[in-house]
Amino acid sequence: QQPVQSPQAVILREGEDAVINCSSSKALYSVHWYRQKHGEAPVFLMILLKGGEQKGHEKISASFNEKKQQSSLYLTASQLSYSGTYFCGMRPAGGGNKLTFGTGTQLKVEL
Amino acid sequence: EAEVAQSPRYKITEKSQAVAFWCDPISGHATLYWYRQILGQGPELLVQFQDESVVDDSQLPKDRFSAERLKGVDSTLKIQPAELGDSAMYLCASSPVGIEQYFGPGTRLTVT
């Protein structure tokens, strides 16, 4: 089953913050976050492997709550370059490395 | 910086014709994936290779799709015959140890 992301779309003014959520009905081993710009391939942002783990990448960070099977991506002080569609990819616990991607969140940052 | 290569970038074909896509993963990456992405949706795994062996092809429509990675390096995905519903972006990704995946630029297929 496909992970569910929220919100489906968000529009920000440059400098504003946003949170994108991703949830699964299955127990998880890891969560992967990607950003895809229109007509381009998804670009890897980060991976979270442990329950409760938080990671950061400049002004983009993420958390992973293993018990709730949820992950959140935090974008702070957004820049125009953050625009795109964000996908979470979830890998189930118990073996295998198949990623199932979420429904996607369209983010647009405006001046 | 090493990248996943795919060709062609764009392909227009008529219904019932055969079409093939090629992928060259990042050197040294043992795991290779083919995904299909319909506009507005997330990528959907079609087939996963570990070296030259298929690990997962449960979502591959085997009556018309085939994939191979004969020498465990580059890979080819074929569709025969193509149908209108096959129009999508076909993405190839590779991974060093099955963790993070690096995507190629994709092949956008239009079936008319």
Q: Could you report the per-residue pLDDT of B33-60, keeping only the tens digit for each?
A: 999 999 889 999 999 999 999 999 999 9
Nearest CB neighbour to A42, from listed B41, B43, B56: B43
Count structural domains, chain A: 1
- Mean pLDDT lowest among A3-12, A37-46, A78-87, B18-27: A37-46
For residue B17, give the CATH number of its domain.
2.60.40.10
Scanning B21-60 for CB atoms below 8 A from A yields 31, 40-45, 48, 56
Tokens of A57: 């990448």
Residue A95 has pLDDT above 70, yes or no: no
For residue A45, give the CATH number of its domain.
2.60.40.10
Mean pLDDT of chain A: 89
Residues of chain B with pLDDT below 70 are: 98
Parallel/antiparallel/unpaired status of strands A105-110 and A9-13: parallel
User: Quick check: is B16 in a domain?
Assistant: yes
Contact B22, B78 (CB under 8 A): no
Count structural domains, chain B: 1
Range of the domain at B60: 5-99
User: Quick check: is B105 in a domain?
Assistant: no
CA distance A4 to chain B (A): 11
Q: What is the pLDDT of residue A26?
A: 87
Range of the domain at A47: 4-110
Nearest CB neighbour to A32, from listed B91, B100, B108: B100
User: Quick check: is B43 in a domain?
Assistant: yes
User: Quick check: is B47 in a domain?
Assistant: yes
| Residue of chain B nearest A87, judged by CA positions | B42
Q: What is the pLDDT of residue B44?
A: 94
